[in-house]
């Protein structure tokens, strides 16, 4: 009997120990939830009244103070549309924003704190009254820019009819790193240099957005633009895309028409189309005799150019036309020194195409001349002249371990000085393509340095376009790391970079903002 009682007591003890263990686990599992930090609380202060297309400022606090990005959003059409973004500094944030013309007479705004793709908290909703923008009469073309001859019918003679499908992005073959004739020198330490005072809203910005975000590149899929803007916390004022002249992947070749739908979609988004138009065919190689500069000068493609220009004039709104870019390289069919092209032919071909646009009344094109940041000794012999160029431009990439890590200054400093000092000192400049690899260094630190350099040492750069596209097997897009996304979002949040307030913009050539 004693043995049986001892056994029963032993079993009861085991059961009791097991129950206690379960209770301990339950308490331990719930303890972190009980001790979790409360969600941050946001305040938001906005003007009681704002005017369409005029920058305004929203500000507030995050309590307790913590890092992250604050997105300013407006309630529209049953959803929340982003107006701007800023970073938190010492628990405070300031966001410059503007609403597009045609916006509602009243908007409900709120601020949302995000970090790592997660929403951490939102402010109470604030309402603002929106006044309409003052009416501005559309500019009339000056006598110098009016068509000098009557437009001709857009007939392509024996050339094949243009396709109805829009062309794919024109990414081009590998680009060479900066040439060896001008190796970078030793860089001076930044010292105590301070950025000059910059008024809010004096630079356009945007991206060339590839298919990695949604499966289709922008602007053929505008959801890709939305994905990119959500990632960086600010709407774009420029959207870059491209087209060759013809598709020769089948026989006969077909010519690409003016892309009305993408242009309309970009303008409806409140941005300005930044269109890179290359005088070549696809599949693309530098050896394309039928698209040599001599053939363009001789008028072989005149009917096509006139038809495209006439369609551009019919569209009627301002757009950037970056024609035959990176002409100082040897990777495109229009480069001098390849495809049978001779010295001096690039300028002649550029002027020929420009004159055809003028003849067809396509003065809504803003002409962008854009070399790569190497081979500076060729710049002067490739510049068509101030009468044929509205903006200058530079392209340049930090290729990382493929060609050696290059800082933004070591890429752009000498090319910028050349263009703004002797080639075209009176023209505004756009960075037409820029990106950095993640290999052999910190992409986030490179981006931070880029924004700092632009503010300090590149006063004539009035527009910036990030190459948000996987090309040449390179990791150019920002989403290669969260730190790169955050660095770009912090830099572009500066109030000098304008958002998508250009849905009703109608000034040509497009001025520096």
**Residue scoring higher pLDDT (221 or 48):** 221
Over residues 7-28, the pLDDT tens digits come to: 444 444 444 444 444 444 443 4
Average pLDDT score over residue span 400-429: 97
- Residue 379's CB is within 10 A of a number of other CB atoms, namely 19
**Closest residue by Cα to residue 327 from 387, 398, 394, 245:** 394
Average pLDDT score over residue span 41-56: 85
> Which residues lie across from 394 on neighbouring strands?
431
Over residues 461-478, the pLDDT tens digits come to: 999 999 999 998 899 999
Q: At what angle do helices 260-268 and 302-315 cross, to 10 degrees?
A: 30
CA distance 16 to 19: 5
Question: What burial class does residue 442 get, using C-beta atoms within 10 Å of its C-beta: 0-12 exposed, 13-18 middle, 19+ buried?
Answer: middle
What does the block give as tokens for 44? 């938001």
Q: What is the pLDDT of residue 159?
A: 35
Q: Name the E strands within 376-441.
A: 391-398, 429-436
Angle at 296 between CA 294 and CA 302, to 5 degrees: 150
pTM of the entire predicted model: 0.69
Quickly state the pLDDT bin for 94 (edges 50, 70, 90). confident
Q: What is the pLDDT of residue 48?
A: 87
> At residue 63, does pLDDT exceed 70?
yes
Q: What is the pLDDT of residue 191?
A: 44
Residue 230 has phi, psi (to 5 degrees) of -65, -35
- Give the H/E segment covering residue 240: strand 238-247
What DSSP assignment string belongs to 463-492? Answer: EEEEEES-BTTB--SGGG-HHHHHHHHHHH
- The residue behind tokens 């690899």 is 437
How many helices and strands in the chain, by DSSP H and E? 10, 18
- Give the H/E segment covering residue 261: helix 260-268
Q: At what angle do helices 408-418 and 443-457 cross, to 10 degrees?
A: 30
Phi-psi category of residue 7: left, alpha or beta, with phi > 0 → left and psi -120 to 50 → alpha? alpha
Q: What is the pLDDT of residue 90?
A: 80
CA distance 394 to 418: 11
> At residue 207, does pLDDT exceed 60?
yes
Over residues 243-298, the pLDDT tens digits come to: 999 999 998 899 999 999 999 999 999 999 999 999 999 987 899 999 999 999 99
CA distance 375 to 394: 12
Over residues 212-253, the pLDDT tens digits come to: 999 999 999 999 999 999 999 999 999 999 999 999 999 889
CA distance 339 to 318: 32
Is 88:70 a contact under the CB 8 Å cutoff?
Answer: yes
- Return the percentage of the chain with pLDDT > 90, whole number: 61
Q: What is the pLDDT of residue 91?
A: 87
CA distance 189 to 475: 29
Residue 360 has phi, psi (to 5 degrees) of -90, 5
Across the chain, what does the average pLDDT equal?
83
Quickly state the pLDDT bin for 37 (edges 50, 70, 90). low
Q: What is the pLDDT of residue 448?
A: 97
**Residue scoring higher pLDDT (10 or 369):** 369
- Return the percentage of the chain with pLDDT > 70, whole number: 78
Residue 21 has phi, psi (to 5 degrees) of -65, -40
Average pLDDT score over residue span 478-492: 94
What letter does residue 185 receive in the DSSP assignment? -
Strand 41-42 to 56-63 pairing: antiparallel
Over residues 105-128, the pLDDT tens digits come to: 888 999 999 876 678 899 999 999
> At residue 178, does pLDDT exceed 70?
no
Q: What is the pLDDT of residue 119?
A: 85
**Which of 323-356 are b and which e, b meaning 16 or more Cβ less than 10 Å from the residue's Cβ?**
bbbbbbbebbbbbbebbebeeebbbebbebbbeb
Q: Name the E strands within 123-225.
A: 126-131, 204-209
Q: What is the pLDDT of residue 200?
A: 63
What does the block give as tokens for 414? 């000498």
The number of residues making up the chain comes to 513
Over residues 123-144, the pLDDT tens digits come to: 999 999 988 875 433 333 333 3
> Which residues lie across from 475 on neighbouring strands?
none
Q: For the chain, how big is the Rg over CA atoms in Å?
A: 28
Structural domains of the chain ordered from first start = 41-131 (2.60.40.10), 204-492 (3.20.20.80)
**Closest residue by Cα to residue 418 from 449, 465, 374, 473:** 374
Q: What is the pLDDT of residue 164?
A: 35
Q: What is the pLDDT of residue 150?
A: 28
């Amino acid at each position: 009997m004693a043995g049986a009682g001892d056994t029963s007591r032993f079993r009861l003890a085991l059961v009791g120990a097991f129950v206690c263990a379960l209770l301990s686990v339950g308490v331990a599992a719930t303890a972190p939830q009980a001790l979790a930090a409360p969600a941050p609380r946001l305040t938001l202060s906005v003007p009681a009244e704002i005017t369409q297309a005029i920058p305004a400022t929203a500000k507030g606090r995050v309590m307790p103070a913590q890092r992250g990005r604050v997105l300013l959003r407006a309630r529209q059409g049953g959803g929340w549309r982003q107006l701007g973004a800023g970073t938190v500094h010492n628990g405070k944030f300031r966001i410059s924003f503007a609403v597009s013309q045609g916006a509602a007479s009243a908007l409900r705004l709120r601020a949302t704190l995000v970090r790592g793709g997660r929403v951490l908290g939102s402010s109470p909703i604030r309402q603002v009254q929106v006044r309409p923008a003052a009416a501005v009469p559309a500019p009339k073309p000056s006598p110098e820019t009016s068509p000098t001859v009557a437009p001709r019918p857009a007939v392509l003679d024996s050339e094949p009819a243009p396709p109805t499908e829009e062309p794919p992005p024109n990414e081009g073959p590998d680009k060479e790193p900066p040439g060896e004739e001008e190796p970078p020198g030793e860089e001076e330490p930044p010292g105590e240099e301070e950025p000059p005072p910059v008024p809010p809203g004096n630079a356009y910005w945007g991206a060339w957005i590839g298919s990695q975000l949604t499966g289709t590149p922008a602007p053929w899929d505008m959801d890709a633009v939305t994905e990119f803007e959500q990632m960086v916390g600010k709407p774009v004022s420029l959207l870059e895309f491209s087209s060759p002249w013809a598709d020769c992947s089948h026989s006969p070749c077909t010519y690409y028409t003016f892309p009305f739908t993408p242009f309309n979609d970009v303008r409806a988004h409140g941005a300005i189309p930044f269109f890179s138009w290359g005088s070549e065919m696809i599949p693309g190689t530098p050896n394309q005799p039928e698209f040599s500069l001599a053939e363009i000068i001789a008028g072989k493609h005149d009917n096509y150019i006139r038809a495209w220009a006439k369609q551009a004039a019919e569209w009627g709104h301002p757009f950037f036309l970056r024609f035959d870019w990176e002409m100082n390289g040897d990777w495109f069919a229009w480069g001098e020194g390849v495809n049978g092209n001779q010295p001096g032919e690039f300028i002649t071909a550029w002027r020929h195409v420009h004159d055809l646009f003028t003849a067809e009344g396509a003065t809504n094109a803003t002409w962008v001349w854009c070399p790569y940041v190497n081979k500076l000794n060729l710049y002067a012999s490739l510049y068509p002249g101030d009468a044929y160029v509205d903006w200058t431009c530079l392209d340049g990439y930090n290729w990382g371990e493929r060609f050696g890590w290059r800082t933004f200054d070591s890429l752009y400093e000498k090319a910028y000085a050349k263009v703004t000092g002797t080639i075209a000192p009176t023209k505004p400049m756009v960075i037409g393509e820029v990106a950095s690899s993640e290999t052999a260094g910190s992409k986030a630190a490179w981006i931070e340095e880029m924004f700092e350099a632009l503010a300090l040492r590149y006063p004539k750069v009035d527009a910036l376009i990030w190459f948000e596209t996987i090309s040449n097997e390179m990791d150019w897009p920002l989403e290669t790391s969260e730190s790169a996304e955050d660095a770009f979002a912090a830099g572009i949040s500066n109030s000098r970079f304008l958002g998508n307030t250009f849905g009703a913009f109608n000034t040509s050539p497009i001025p520096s903002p």
